[in-house]
Amino acid sequence: MTPLKRILLIDHEPHLTAIVSAALQTSGRYLIRQQSYGAEALAAALDFQPDLILLDAEPEHLELDQVAQQIHGESALQNVPVLCLTTLAANGQIGSIGFLGGYTFLANPFRLDDMVNCITEILKMRRASSS
């Protein structure tokens, strides 16, 4: 049996966190830990040792850069991919994927299955690059 991939979900919105967490757990491939923004996020990342960090990247929350820099500043976490969920979709476009500030992002609104597929691909690329 393949071990579950560990995903740390850092978000400030409990409703979105619950939906995203449920979608990931339903896939049967991921172990999810939820954490709010703040000093606890880095401690949670160090403790949980995730394979991927899913970070709510709302434009009004400037903590994104701070949290991501703190995470990647730790040697144990510097190679952990960060996927940012953001509301930066243009003209109601669904599921835009790209790079913003050096991080991969998935623009909201997005389909949950697209998010799960995006995470799966990021983890495949990480596994391939570490082989």
pLDDT tens track for 55-85: 876 655 555 667 777 888 889 998 999 888 8
Residue pair 25/56 in contact by the 8 Å Cβ criterion: no
What residue ranges define each of the domains in the chain, with the CATH number in brackets? 5-130 (3.40.50.2300)
* Mean pLDDT, residues 88-109 taken together: 58
Specify the pairing of strand 52-56 against strand 30-35.
unpaired
User: What per-residue confidence (pLDDT) applies to 9?
Assistant: 92
* pLDDT, greater one: 6 or 19: 6
Residue where the block lists tokens 């991969």? 104
pLDDT band at residue 109 under the 50/70/90 scheme: confident
The full DSSP string for 65-107 is HHHHHHHHHSTTTTT--EEEEES--GGG-SS-EEEETTEEEEE
Residue where the block lists tokens 């954490």? 35
For the chain, state the CA radius of gyration: 14
